[in-house]
Amino acid sequence: MAVAPDFFETEPRNWRARLAASVEVMRELSRYTDPQEMYAVFARRMAQLFPVSRQLTVSRRGLAAPQFRVTRFNLWRDPVNPWKDWQRLPVHEGGLLAELVYADQPRLLGDVTLDRDDPALAYLDGQRSVLALPHFDQGVAQSVVVLAREEPDAFPRDRIADLVLLSNLFGRATQTLVLSQAVKEAYEAVDYELRTVADIQKSLLPPSVPRVPGLDVAVHYQTAKRAGGDYYDFFPLPEGKLGVLVADASGHGAPAAVMMAIAHSIAHTLPDPPVRPAALLTHLNAHMTKRYTRQTGTFMTAFYAVFDPAARTLSYASAGHNPPRLVRAADGSRVVLNRAQSLPLGIKPDERYPEQVVPLRAGDRVVFFTDGVIEAVNAEGDVFGPDRLDATTDGPAESAEELLRAILRGFNGFTQGVPVADDRTLVVVRRA
């Protein structure tokens, strides 16, 4: 069906053509997400549906009366993007365009004459009919679309209401796109920063599992966001011993990652090798409480264990952390390492941490974990919990990696793809 040559013509015979053309305009506009491209399409389509000699947009945003900027003009060969390059648009003052943009009302002028010093002359020279369509934002006409024709009384009054509505709806649509694009750009900038934080955080973690005679180690580490607050570390110690630290900062994302980095820095400033579990936790707690956590209300749980393959022992201390499981190879029984509990790091500056020592036999396995493991849920809202974790450690395991894979199979089978809500860390150490 042919498009009506002039939508200002309101004869009933044109209604089908106007409807078909309007539908096609909306269909084409829906394909665009860039406001500048969308405006170009809208302007071209409106020129077909509402033929005018001149079309310009006048803005008062950020200016005081009688100042204004012309942000769009259909005769410009090099259009300016007013959302990004507004500084290229000169500020004018006074005259007809200032009157129209500050009127806060539609205006119809049937026979216009302009003074030679009126800034509008550069845009409306030779035009006799002018129609001003205000665009409202927060109840104020921050801009106005000005349409002009060379003939006097060229705009029928019964179409003005439709044009005000159509023009404002398009204005709101483009403003929404501008805001959406700004949000997207802000998100991408934040996401880039978080990726950088995540990269830095990963660089603080051990690059590989330690190789210590008599011990076998495997690790699984997964953050809920780009960066997280879970922290694990290994400390090669004198006489073939190995220290294993697993910690979990309160909160999520970048703030928790910062606490993780702080803990890493403090842990590696201990003057002597951290052979005593209580000494390391006391050192961490004192520095975190004094400088970082008391002002922010944050804290960190931690569990530090020292494996001594020669003495066949495991000594440990806990700062409010989930107690690891010691799985005996001889009979499959479990020992919950919960007899040296104390407050999390960062709460009480003079907290002291007790130690416990347990024997280790050949084939015994120790499973360290953080909250994100036992607090994970499935689609029905059931919690994985420590009992299900214990069940995954049943049966023999010839290596730490084999046991870790068994735990993850059970865990993944339970959660079945439910998105990660908290950081998850598993460390398995097996005595050879």
Q: Which two tokens stand for residue 300?
A: 């960190």
> Taking a C-beta distance cutoff of 8 angstroms, is the pair 385, 190 a contact?
no
**Would you place residue 188 in the very low, low, confident or very high pLDDT band (cuts 50, 70, 90)?**
confident
Pairing of strands 300-308, 313-319: antiparallel
Task: Flag whether pLDDT at 15 surpasses 80.
Answer: no
Task: Flag whether pLDDT at 325 surpasses 80.
Answer: yes
Tell the residue number behind the tokens 């004198």, with chain if given. Answer: 238
Pairing of strands 230-236, 140-149: unpaired
pLDDT (0 to 100) of residue 22: 74
Q: Compute the distance between CA of residue 202 and CA of residue 418 in angstroms, rounded to an integer.
A: 24
Q: Compute the distance between CA of residue 44 and CA of residue 74 in angstroms, rounded to an integer.
A: 9
Q: Compute the distance between CA of residue 94 and CA of residue 67 in angstroms, rounded to an integer.
A: 6
**φ and ψ of 123, to 5 deg:** -115, -25
Q: Which two tokens stand for residue 358?
A: 């347990």
**Would you place residue 13 in the very low, low, confident or very high pLDDT band (cuts 50, 70, 90)?**
low
Mean pLDDT of 56-75: 95
Mean pLDDT of 54-67: 95
Mean pLDDT of 289-317: 94
Higher-pLDDT residue of 418, 49: 418
Q: What share of the chain is helix, strand, coil (3-state, %, to 5)?
A: 35, 25, 40
Higher-pLDDT residue of 94, 31: 94
**Would you place residue 190 in the very low, low, confident or very high pLDDT band (cuts 50, 70, 90)?**
confident
**Would you place residue 5 in the very low, low, confident or very high pLDDT band (cuts 50, 70, 90)?**
very low
Q: Compute the distance between CA of residue 418 and CA of residue 423 in angstroms, rounded to an integer.
A: 14
Q: What is the pLDDT of residues 230-260, one digit of tens each?
A: 999 999 999 999 999 999 999 888 889 999 9
pLDDT (0 to 100) of residue 4: 42
**φ and ψ of 291, to 5 deg:** -110, -25
Q: What is the pLDDT of residues 163-172, one digit of tens each?
A: 888 787 777 7
- Provide the angle, in degrees to the nearest 10, between the axes of the packed helices 15-29 and 35-49: 170
pLDDT (0 to 100) of residue 64: 96
- Give every CB contact of residue 155 below 8 A, 6+ residues apart in sequence: 8, 108, 110, 129, 131, 147, 149
**Would you place residue 9 in the very low, low, confident or very high pLDDT band (cuts 50, 70, 90)?**
low
- Quick one: CA dihedral 23, 27, 28, 33, positive or negative? positive
Tell the residue number behind the tokens 């953080």, with chain if given. Answer: 370
Query: pTM of this prediction?
Result: 0.69
Task: Flag whether pLDDT at 399 surpasses 90.
Answer: yes
Q: Which two tokens stand for residue 243?
A: 């220290």
Q: What is the pLDDT of residues 41-51, one digit of tens each?
A: 777 777 777 78
> Taking a C-beta distance cutoff of 8 angstroms, is the pair 44, 32 a contact?
no
> Widest CA span of the chain, in angstroms?
104
- 10 Å Cβ neighbour count for 159? 16
Q: Compute the distance between CA of residue 115 and CA of residue 244 in angstroms, rounded to an integer.
A: 85
Q: Compute the distance between CA of residue 82 and CA of residue 148 in angstroms, rounded to an integer.
A: 21
User: Which of 426, 422, 429, 430 minimizes the C-alpha distance to 409?
Assistant: 426
Task: Flag whether pLDDT at 337 surpasses 60.
Answer: yes
> Taking a C-beta distance cutoff of 8 angstroms, is the pair 217, 429 a contact?
yes
Higher-pLDDT residue of 29, 297: 297
| H/E element, 222 | strand 215-222
**Would you place residue 189 in the very low, low, confident or very high pLDDT band (cuts 50, 70, 90)?**
confident
Phi-psi domain of 240 (left: phi exceeds 0; alpha: psi -120 through 50; beta: other): left
pLDDT (0 to 100) of residue 8: 53
pLDDT (0 to 100) of residue 20: 79
pLDDT (0 to 100) of residue 14: 67
What DSSP designation does 324 have? P
Pairing of strands 313-319, 341-342: parallel
Task: Flag whether pLDDT at 123 surpasses 70.
Answer: yes
Pick the range with the lowest mean pLDDT from 67-71, 156-160, 324-328: 156-160
Task: Flag whether pLDDT at 12 surpasses 70.
Answer: no
Residue type for 392, please? T
Higher-pLDDT residue of 176, 277: 277
Q: Compute the distance between CA of residue 352 and CA of residue 285 in angstroms, rounded to an integer.
A: 9
Where do the DSSP E strands lie in 18-116? 54-59, 67-73, 91-93, 107-109
Angle ∠(80,83,86) on CA atoms, nearest 5:
60
> Taking a C-beta distance cutoff of 8 angstroms, is the pair 196, 226 a contact?
no
Q: Which two tokens stand for residue 311?
A: 């003495």
Q: Compute the distance between CA of residue 68 and CA of residue 90 in angstroms, rounded to an integer.
A: 9
pLDDT (0 to 100) of residue 253: 84
